[in-house]
Structure 1
């Protein structure tokens, strides 16, 4: 039987667009209270308004968050604690920068990906873990990627960070054994979000070409998978959930019409 989320407080990082925003909408539809963070506060406000318009009684609080900044993370966690006991954490914030091969890539891009995708996730997770452990329950969902399972040329550091997310999550499962805290890694294949626009620094034509000739996953597809994992009964932990578009069989394997 699915877990009732009514009144439960869910925190989502990177909640201003894409999978984060879609997950917020899905959780609000299940009655969860939301605390959303992202760097773009104006975009967060648009998400908050959209959720309230669709789900009239939804409780949605937003706050600025830069996961690469320890002080920002600490302030965000303090703000969330003021809303009540956090039972759900979705670590969605992440990005890719460029697709240069290692020999040509920018160290600045490497640092941004590592600081966001790994250190940022660790910072946020550590801030929310003590409360979950003390209450003997909670669910943490980490946004990984199939890139962490099957690396590809031009994505070495991004793939390494997502492999790191998977490894961190599995380590956490061992560390949290017996606490009642669940950890799940959701690893999507090609999903049409702002991901490629960010990767290619705003080049929308280049970003659109990534999804040309096949039907990619939508943010809503991934959000439904995340919420499925969250709503399993407390004795069930979906430790790892991989989803591809039907037209994709691997990171470099697509059927394009």
Structure 2
């Protein structure tokens, strides 16, 4: 799908990968409806973009189904149509084993990552199907195929996004809507603090592992939109674990456990 002149909805546009996707889409000539719970974050994205009327802020919680159902009408009122939706907004869980994780945390993660994505897909699919060419992009995670200890529920929520997206691809195969699932590895964003999660001593002054800059993550996502890719990984870690998890799921799971298990100590 072409970027210039098209109207693209981006969730999580107030920070991190979502902000970078919004900024790069705007720089390439798209109009962007930025969606985020953080009003000041969206205002900063608008300031950085300096794109005038080509950027519209929509402050809402994607877990609020009624608010999301009203969003297509609001975007169409501002821009006249919707050509693509990029679902990026998400949270991680507290770094705890499932046995120690409260149900309130489990429900929060599932509500944002899975139900928020589902709400957006259901709300916008009619508008996308009405376009001659459209795109739907959902961001899953490396954790969907390479489980991280202490992030079991996060991984489960992103695995649900993976299967949902792949099934939507199959259901929309003979339509005008291209469907893409994205698998980021470790990205240098503030997702932990934005999720209300403390990494404690494991965080230090910098991550103990190499992360991919959000600017690069955004480039991968936008390239996937342009090329109508079925799937894309972000970062060497995601690509490596993607291959290893196919060859030997047990080896991949054990390797991740040894590398990341320290976050639980």
The answer, yes or no, to whether TM exceeds 0.5 is yes
Q: Please tell me whether the aligned partners of residues 51 and 58 of structure 1 are also in contact (alpha carbons under 8 angstroms).
A: no
Of 13, 20, 25, 1:15 maps to: 13
Change (3 A) 1:159 1:103: same
* CA–CA separation in structure 1 for the residues paired with 2:196 and 2:205: 11
Q: Tell me which residue corresponds to 2:246.
A: none
Q: Tell me which residue corresponds to 1:78.
A: 73
Of 22, 25, 32, 2:23 maps to: 25
Q: How does 1:97-112 map to 2 (within 5 A)?
A: 97-112=93-108
Change (3 A) 1:247 1:42: closer
Q: Please tell me whether the aligned partners of residues 72 and 82 of structure 2 are also in contact (alpha carbons under 8 angstroms).
A: no
Q: Tell me which residue corresponds to 1:150.
A: 146
Q: TM-score under structure 2 normalisation?
A: 0.85
Change (3 A) 1:204 1:137: farther
Structure 2: gaps (5+ residues): 242-252, 260-265
* CA–CA separation in structure 2 for the residues paired with 1:123 and 1:68: 7
Q: Tell me which residue corresponds to 2:164.
A: 168
- Please give the secondary structure, in 1, of the residue aligned with 2:83: strand
Q: Tell me which residue corresponds to 1:244.
A: 235
CA deviation vs aligned residue, 1:55-89 (integer Å, no higher than 9, x gap): x5671110112011112212322211212211111
Change (3 A) 1:200 1:39: closer
Q: Please tell me whether the aligned partners of residues 95 and 150 of structure 2 are also in contact (alpha carbons under 8 angstroms).
A: yes
Change (3 A) 1:80 1:205: farther
Q: CA RMSD in A?
A: 2.3
Following superposition, the deviation at residue 241 of structure 1 comes to: 0.5
Structure 1: gaps (5+ residues): none
Q: TM-score under structure 1 normalisation?
A: 0.87
- Please give the secondary structure, in 1, of the residue aligned with 2:42: helix
The answer to whether residue 44 in structure 2 is matched with residue 46 in structure 1 is: yes
Q: How does 1:56-71 map to 2 (within 5 A)?
A: 59-71=54-66
When structure 1 is superposed on structure 2, of 14-23 and 133-142 the one drifting more is 133-142
Change (3 A) 1:142 1:151: same
Q: Tell me which residue corresponds to 2:213.
A: 218
Q: Tell me which residue corresponds to 2:126.
A: 130
- The structure where helix makes up a greater share of residues is 2
Q: Please tell me whether the aligned partners of residues 190 and 245 of structure 1 are also in contact (alpha carbons under 8 angstroms).
A: no
Following superposition, the deviation at residue 200 of structure 1 comes to: 5.4
The answer to whether residue 101 in structure 2 is matched with residue 115 in structure 1 is: no
Q: How does 1:173-192 map to 2 (within 5 A)?
A: 173-192=169-188
Number of residue pairs the alignment of both structures matches = 245
Change (3 A) 1:4 1:68: closer
Q: Tell me which residue corresponds to 2:226.
A: 231
Following superposition, the deviation at residue 177 of structure 1 comes to: 1.6
Change (3 A) 1:198 1:191: same
* CA–CA separation in structure 2 for the residues paired with 1:204 and 1:61: 36
